Amino acid sequence: PELSGGQWVAVAALGPVGTGAYLAFYRALQLGPLAIVSPIASANGAVVVVLAVILLGDSLSRTQALGAAVVLCCVVLAAVDVGERVPPGPGDGDGDGVRLAVLATVMFAGYLFALVALAEPAGWLLPILLTRMTGLPLLAAIVARRRERPWRLLGPGALALACAVGWLESAGFLLFNRGAEIGQAALTSAAAATYPLVPVACGLLLLHERLRAYQAVGIAGVLAGMTLLAL
C-alpha cells in the first residue's frame, strides 16, 4: 500500500500500544475491584466513536447518534457487577486497579481508532498483521526478562483453550477492521462495543450466575440501541 512515512510509523507503534493495553487490562482485572474495572474497560468504544466523528468526519443521523449513545451507556450498565469484589494483592494500592483500567481504556481506544483510520489507506488486513508483528518482540522481551514459564503448568485442555482465545480475538479484530473499511468507523465501533454481553451471557448459561435487574435493563438498552443503529 502507498502509505506515508508517518503512517508507517503509526502502524509500527500500534504493536507496543496494543500490548501495553492488554498488560494494563489483565493487571487491572487481577487487582480489581471488578465492579469498577469491568465497566471502565468496556467504555473504550465511546472514545472511538467520538474520535471518529471529530477527526474522521463521520456523520451520524440523529437516530444513529441516539442509538450509539444508548448502546455505549447500556453496555457499561450491563458490565457492572456490584456484588463482585477482588481485594488488592499485598502491597497494592486500592486505586491501582482503577488507574490501570483507565489506562487500558485510553490505550485500547487509541489502538482501535488508529486501526480504523488506517483501514482506508492500508486496507483491513495489513494494520493488524503489522501490529501483531511489532507487538510480538515486546512480549518476548517481557517473558525473557521475567523468566517465567507458566504454560508448563497448564494441561493440554488449557493450552487448547488459550489457542482458541487467540484465534477468536484475532478474528474479532479482523472483522472489526473490515467493518470499518466498508462502513463508518463510528457505527462499527458502537456496534463492536457490545462485546461485554458475550461474557455476561456465558456467565448466565455456563456458570449459572444470576442476572441483576440493572444488568437486564442494560442488555435491553443495548438491543434497543442496536435497533436504532440499524435504521
- Please give the model's pTM, rounded to 2 decimal places: 0.75
Instruction: Tell me how far apart the alpha carbons of residues 195 and 71 are, in angstroms, rounded to a whole number.
Output: 11
Instruction: Tell me how far apart the alpha carbons of residues 134 and 230 are, in angstroms, rounded to a whole number.
Output: 36
DSSP-assigned states of every residue in 43-72: THHHHHHHHHHHHS-----HHHHHHHHHHH
Arithmetic mean of pLDDT over the chain: 79
153: confidence class by pLDDT, cuts 50, 70, 90: confident
Contact 212, 81 (CB under 8 A): yes
**pLDDT tens readout for residues 13-64:** 888 898 899 889 888 888 877 667 777 777 787 788 888 888 888 777 788 7
91: confidence class by pLDDT, cuts 50, 70, 90: very low
3-state helix, strand, coil in the chain (%, to 5): 80, 0, 20
Instruction: Tell me how far apart the alpha carbons of residues 166 and 56 are, in angstroms, rounded to a whole number.
Output: 30
**Environment class of 156 (CB within 10 Å of its CB; exposed 0-12, middle 13-18, buried 19+):** exposed
Nearest C-alpha neighbor of 134 from the set 14, 21, 25: 14
Per-residue pLDDT at 167: 92
Of residues 58 and 172, more confidence is placed in 172
The full length of the chain comes to 231
